[in-house]
Amino acid sequence: MIIKNARIILQDNQTVIKDIWIEEGLIQAIEDKIEKEDEILDAHGMLVMSGGIDVHVHLREPGYTQKETIHTGTLAAAHGGYTTVMAMPNVVPSPDNVTTMKEYLALIEKEAVVKVVPYGCITKNEKGKELVDFEALKQCGITAFSDDGVGVQEDAVMEEAMKQAAQADVLLAAHTEDMRYRRPNSCIHEGIRSAQLNLVGIPSECEYKQIERDLKLAEKYHACYHICHMSAKESVALLREYKNKGADVSGEVTAHHLLLNEMDVENENHKMNPPLRSAEDQKALIEGLKDGTIEILANDHAPHTIEDKSKGMAQSAFGIVSLETSIPLVYTELVKTGILTLEQFQNIISANPAKRFGFHDRGKIAVGYEADLFALEQKTSVIDKNAFVSKGKNTPFDGRKVEGVIAWTMVHGKIVMERRSNG
């Protein structure tokens, strides 16, 4: 295939129109004009970017297929411009041993529309007690581990996890939540809005106190450590401090924590964990992304049934869907407004996660790299949850206007999603 008239990013906001020749799923050449007897895909000057790599997705299968399946979740990823997603292990059965992991990988191979790389659990059944066999799971190709959704509460268990992960040369991605700071029925950030709505709040200490613990351990044992869904200004400051010390640490932030804060909370679709925090926290997250402290835009795509999201703020499930909306939202709100450059945008959604998580064959538009790409059309559209291909419709962005539309997505040189002119 030859992609004609692709607008690709050079640096900052500089772009150039090029042709891209793809053969056997790889980029073979990038030139002003390529003439071959191959299939032609005309990009019509649309922005063509390296496929999004989302390091934090909940596909819900096996165990919770009423919420999402591997097929519907990865189809949503394709509609959102994502070509690789990393699936969190809070499914049933837990992928905490070689036998279960092999069955999980076979299911992914059968059902996925885009590339899926699963996490292994840090502890068996994510119970926070007994560590998994990192070395054995690494032999299955698993190099990243998380107990997402709960986090590792016991200090001694996390310390041993850091030691063993460093020895096995694998990455720990931590959901940081110190449950000693969580009160019953807590559901949004403890701040102005929780007081206005008379709701039990979740303080920022719940997140950053455990981050502080983990960063000290990562530095001590030279472990490779990644912070999931950062939300608090103190978390940003801590990550910046330990990166400056030379620790092998990184962090991610979601589109919803960048674009919303506690004062936007209206209903259950604004309930996520960690919660939307203060405007000051939101500003710190954006600054952390701009200065490179936070390197990765992740989604924490968390689909739920309508029933699970209709039980009132205190009792409804935490989480929102985001795979189909985050790239257009961040492009509209942070790139079009000049807060981030196109180059920074491409880095946080593709190049940086590829580098951090060891995907050395993707993350760039360059000769020899995987032809994992998407095209962003410069046109206005309105987010419509009823048009989502994800089973989850739980989004706070329904009805929001965006200035970019994913026109098509390509994985290993094959189109896996093409949006027709009627949307």
CATH of the domain at 241: 3.20.20.140
In a domain? residue 116: yes
The domain in which residue 337 lies consists of: 51-363
pTM for this one?
A: 0.97
In this prediction, residue 78 carries a pLDDT of 98
In a domain? residue 134: yes
In a domain? residue 422: no
In this prediction, residue 422 carries a pLDDT of 41
Active site residue 96: no
Dihedral over Cα of 361, 364, 369, 371: its sign: positive
Considering only CA atoms, which of 27, 25, 21 is closest in space to residue 4?
A: 21
In a domain? residue 373: no
Count of domains observed in the chain: 1
Tell me how far apart the alpha carbons of residues 324 and 388 are, in angstroms, rounded to a whole number. Answer: 7
In this prediction, residue 410 carries a pLDDT of 98
In this prediction, residue 149 carries a pLDDT of 87
In this prediction, residue 421 carries a pLDDT of 53
Query: For the chain, which ranges sit under pLDDT 50?
Result: 422-423
In a domain? residue 11: no
In this prediction, residue 87 carries a pLDDT of 98
In a domain? residue 236: yes
Give, in order, the Cα–Cα distances in Å from 289 to each of 190, 384, 387.
24, 28, 30
In this prediction, residue 151 carries a pLDDT of 86
In a domain? residue 247: yes
Residue from 54, 96, 300, 308 carrying the catalytic annotation: 300
In a domain? residue 423: no
